[in-house]
Amino acid sequence: MGTFLGFALTLSLLFCIAQGKVLFYDFMVKETPIKMLCETNRTILTVNGLFPGPEIRARKGDTIYVNVTNIGPYGITIHWHGVRQIRYPWSDGPEFVTQCPIPSNSSFLQKIVLTEEEGTLWWHAHSDWSRATIHGPLIIMPAYGKMYPYKFDQEHTIVIAEWYTRDTKAIIDEALESGGDPDLSVAYTINGQPGDSYSCSNGSAYNKTVVRGKTYLFRIIHSGMNEEMFFGIAKHNLTVVGMDGAYLKPLKINYLMITPGQTMDVLVTANQTPGRYYMVFSPFVDTNAPSNENVTRGIFQYNDNYNHSETPILPELPGFTNKSDAGNFTIQLRGLNSKEHPSKVPTKITRNITIMEALNARPCPANKTCSGPQGTMHSASLNNITFSAPSISILQAYYNNLQGVYNKTFPDTPPFIFDYTGNVSALGDAANVSTEVLMINYNEEVEIRFQGTNFAAENHPMHLHGYSFYVVGMGDGNFSDSYVSRYNTVDPPYVNTVGLPKNGWTAIRFKADNPGVWFMHCHLERHASWGMDTVIVVGDGAKKHQKVLPPPKDMPPCSVS
């Protein structure tokens, strides 16, 4: 009996190691009163009353069920940013792409399928602008029985966010109606605290006490809406070891540049003179568009004996407009490419796609006054198409073969060729407004070349749902086929969000082995709202295990907003 029991326990342990565990969480979306800066009587949408929201912690290979109950004033969706959701796009979350919003006073049980992801990811609302306050960490530790490829003594999660003075849904609704710029955020927060540089903050700042000689893993999540960030800790080097749920070759540097949507795993060793040191997030602004140029500060302080009332030391960070330092950081990132974590870069490309990104202007409708440039309406596009979301989800229309919801005609190339990053003043900046999807066959090896333009140029962090991808090349100016020979196909970073440099290009590769409907968009929220989005539909494969799984029975209805 004892032998059989031991054998059974061994089998159970092996199954657990191979399959992972099943975890359960409850999310309650609701309005919550919060005090921030000089505001009074303000409520925001939260999950479980927290800002940032609750942390989900799992291991590689686990399956997570999250019961999302919405008692907020309007419909909501939740996206598991960076989770591939193999064959199961039903829980991916973007509104009117994979689901309709969860109506008020109803629930949706979302299934999160973890496969290859390992490191720091996050979750956030994916409807209207509600992700400003509805977001939180998704931490994926190594599989059972496996170890990290680096050593540390303690870990801490840092969530950078943007704070607005009024309801963000009202902000974007008004901006889209008028065609003008949405309100700017008024502050940045670190783990919900604005730091001591703001009025009425009462010295509130994220504070981390450290022990000299110990190494700390900081899991940094950029949940902000519209501003990219430099980050540094005074007098301390940072060693970047992971990004977007995958490992990197250790990169020792004294600052980071991180875009909305990205996550980074960073080691910091407390090896300086005991004292207090500021950790600072400072925006990177490479555009003439209105921007929030505030900073937010946390404190990295030693637990030794010294004058704890002394003013912390500030780090030296690149200036707000330092495009060179922003780009120099990004191009140094390399995938780990070890025996345990190999790079699998597609090299037999069967589908080559070029996507031109632009900020546009739409004519103001008759009998209306618009607040966009020269009385027009702000717009944005990919390959000259401004994405228009349908009133039901594209995934449900695709799965049920419903006609008239979307067109399968998103082009593989821009509609015409010109000097994208040169003088474009003679060209019109209008785009076609429609619901187009990009059709890709199962198992194709895909290369996408994102090409920036000089239409109100700035950096665009591009995010692809359902996939991580290899960043094989990046540069300034117009892409040329001659650049392919310079690609890094040995150890490129494997990420889900990548910055397209201002007036530049970025090339990514992935194997289309995850069938379904997947959103691709700029992660600057104002650009996504203006239409810098598209949908990739990866068809089913021939075999049963290569097809989209059936939908759950409790999908939110599309007849209720």
Residues in Cβ contact with 446 at an 8 Å cutoff, skipping those fewer than 6 apart: 346, 349, 350, 351, 353, 440, 509, 510, 511, 512
Peptide bond into 52 cis (omega under 30): yes
pTM: 0.95
pLDDT at 16: 45
Q: What is the DSSP letter of 549?
A: P
161, containing H or E segment: strand 154-163
Give, in degrees to the nearest 5, the angle at Cα 264 between 260 and 268.
Answer: 135
Sheet order of strands, 276-284 included: 207-210, 296-302, 276-284, 228-233, 256-258
- The torsion region of residue 38 among left (phi > 0), alpha (psi -120 to 50) and beta comes to alpha
- Sign of the Cα pseudo-torsion (76, 80, 82, 84, in order): negative
Dmax of the chain from CA atoms? 85
Hey, what are 112's tokens?
């999160």
Q: How far apart are CA 392 and CA 389, in angstroms?
A: 8
* Inter-residue contact 181 to 370 (CB < 8 Å): no
Report the C-alpha dihedral over residues 350, 494, 475, 410, rounded to 10 degrees.
40
Tens-digit pLDDT profile for residues 223-279: 999 999 999 999 999 999 999 999 999 999 999 999 999 999 999 999 999 999 999
pLDDT at 40: 77
Q: How far apart are CA 248 and CA 251, in angstroms?
A: 8
Q: How many CB atoms lie within 10 A of CB 485?
A: 6
pLDDT at 201: 79
Question: Which residues of the chain carry a pLDDT beneath 70?
Answer: 1-19, 560-561
pLDDT at 146: 96
